[in-house]
Amino acid sequence: MSVQGVFYLIAIILLVLAALPISSRGVSLALLGAAFALLGYSWDTITS
């Protein structure tokens, strides 16, 4: 699995956890998931 795929997988897991009624202190799981999704999307541009 590529690094890009790992970032997408982490993003999906974080977004699913953000949808559950779990209280996370300090950090927003939805924003963290969105950041990983954006990192996975732009990985080719960052590393080239």
To the nearest 10°, report the CA torsion of 36, 40, 41, 45. 120
Enter the tokens of residue 18.
């953000």
pLDDT in tens, 15-48: 999 998 888 787 899 999 999 999 999 998 988 8
Closest-CA residue to 24 (of 34, 14, 12)? 14
pLDDT of residue 1: 82
Write down the pLDDT at residue 38: 96
